[in-house]
Amino acid sequence: MSNKNRLCYIKSNLYSYFMKFLNHTMSAIAQFIGLESNKTGHLEKWVSATGGLAGILTVTFISQQFLGLQAVSLVVASMGATAVLVFAVPHGPLSQPWAVLGGHLVSAVIGVACARWIPDQLFASAVAVALAIGSMHYLRCIHPPGGATALTAVIGGANLQALGFQYALTPVLLNAVTIVIIAIVFNYAFSWRRYPASLAVRHAAPVAASHDAQETRQESLNENDLQTALQTMDSTIDISSQDLAHIYHLTQQNKLTARLKPADLQLGNYYGNGLFGSDWQVRQIIDMTTPMTSTEDLLKYKIVAGPDRRNTGTSSFDAFAKWASYEVFLNESSWQRKKPVELVYA
C-alpha cells in the first residue's frame, strides 16, 4: 500500500471513529436531558397548536362576557399550560376532564385559603403549592397547572385577592370548564385524538395467531419495537419510550414468576388463558390423577366460557399449566382473576 493510500485509510478510520464517538455522545446527552425522538407528524403538531389557539381565544372571550372588560387580566396564566396538555397530549392522564376541573378547583380554593390565613406571602406560596399537590394526589386529579393556580391566588396581587373564594369559580372554574368543552368539540373532528381518552378510536389490525405464536412474538419485542409503535400512533403520549420498555420488561418478569406450575392445579378449580376477545377461554378441571405420578399423567377439563363452550378435553398437567395464565372465579356474571393468598408471619 502506498503512503498516499495508507494516509487515506487512516483518515477514513479516524473519521469513522470520530462519527461513532459523536453519535454515542449525542445519544447519551439526549437520553440524560430527556430529549425524546419526534414521534408526531406535521399535521398533529399543527392541530395541537390550532387547538391551543381556539381554546385560549374562547377562554378570553367568555371571561370578558361574564367578568367585564378587565377580565383578561383575571384569566389565570395556568390555563395556558392546561391548553398545552389538553390539545398537545389529549390522551394523557394529566389532561383528562377530571384532572383539569378538579385540579384547578381544589388548587384555587387552597390558594385563596393560604393567602387569607398565612400572613407571610413567601411561606403561604410554598404551603399553597404543597397542599395543592397533596390534595390532587388524594382526589386523583393531578394536573400540573393546578400548582400555578394555587400560586397565583397568593401572589396575584390585591385585585385578584379581593375576589376571595369567588376566584375559584370565576375565573378559575369558568376557564377550566370552557377549555374542557373546547377540547372535546375541537378534538372530536380527529378520530385518532378524540377527547377525553375514553372517546379515542384506536385502529388495530386483527391478529389471528395461536397462543404459542403470540407468546413467541411478545417475548421477541424490544425497545425499538415499542419506539416504532409509538411513532406509528402519530400522537403525543405522556410516557417515554424508556418507561414503556421498563413497564414491558416488568410485565414479562411478572408473567414468568406468576406462571402456574403443574403442582398448582387443583380438581374443580377454574383457569383462564389470559387472552382477549375471541381467544379468551375458561376451563374447569373435572378429573385428574391425585397425586400426579408421572409427567405423562392426564387431566380432564370442561370448557365453561369462550370458544367451544361445554366441550370437554384431556391434557397433560404440564400442557394445561402452560395454557393457563391464572386461576379465575365467577363473581356474579363475570370471570375475575383469583388473587394469590398472601402469607402472614407472626
Dump the DSSP string for 48-103.
Answer: HHHHHHHHHHHHHHHHHHHH-GGGGGGS-THHHHHHHHHHHSTTSGGGSHHHHHHH
* 335 and 270 Cβ atoms separated by less than 8 Å: yes
Q: Per residue in 97-115, pLDDT tens?
A: 999 999 999 999 999 999 9
**DSSP H helical segments within the chain, as ranges?**
3-33, 42-67, 78-88, 97-117, 121-138, 145-155, 158-161, 166-167, 174-187, 211-219, 223-233, 241-257, 317-323
Judge whether residue 118 has pLDDT over 80: yes
* The pLDDT value given to residue 213: 42
Confidence class of residue 15 from pLDDT cuts 50, 70 and 90? Answer: confident
Judge whether residue 216 has pLDDT over 50: no
Judge whether residue 218 has pLDDT over 50: no
* The pLDDT value given to residue 284: 93
Over range 24-44, report the average pLDDT. 76
* The pLDDT value given to residue 151: 94
Judge whether residue 316 has pLDDT over 80: yes
Residue ranges covered by each domain of the chain:
42-199, 215-257, 262-337
Over range 42-48, report the average pLDDT. 91
238, three cell numbers: 405522556
* The pLDDT value given to residue 24: 82
Burial class (CB in 10 A: 0-12, 13-18, 19+), 306: middle
Count of Cβ atoms closer than 10 Å to residue 122 Cβ: 10
* The pLDDT value given to residue 88: 93
Alpha-carbon distance values, 316 to 181, 212, 224, 232 (Å): 57, 16, 38, 42
* The pLDDT value given to residue 20: 82
Site of grid cell 400540573: 144
Judge whether residue 3 has pLDDT over 60: yes
Q: Per residue in 169-208, pLDDT tens?
A: 988 999 999 999 999 999 999 988 889 988 876 544 444 4
Q: Per residue in 46-70, pLDDT tens?
A: 999 999 999 999 988 887 777 665 5
Query: Which residue, among 335, 339, 321, 338, has the nearest Cα to 265 in the 3D structure?
Result: 321
* 171 and 71 Cβ atoms separated by less than 8 Å: yes
* 286 and 313 Cβ atoms separated by less than 8 Å: no
Averaged pLDDT of the chain: 81
Burial class (CB in 10 A: 0-12, 13-18, 19+), 52: buried
Strand 282-287 versus strand 334-337 pairing type? unpaired
Judge whether residue 36 has pLDDT over 90: no
* The pLDDT value given to residue 217: 43
292 vs 82 pLDDT, higher one:
82
Most confident of 24-28, 211-215, 241-245, 311-315: 311-315
Judge whether residue 215 has pLDDT over 70: no
Q: Per residue in 129-168, pLDDT tens?
A: 999 999 999 999 999 999 999 999 999 888 888 889 999 9
* The pLDDT value given to residue 55: 93
31, three cell numbers: 437520553
Nearest-angstrom CA–CA distance, 82 and 99: 10
* The pLDDT value given to residue 180: 96
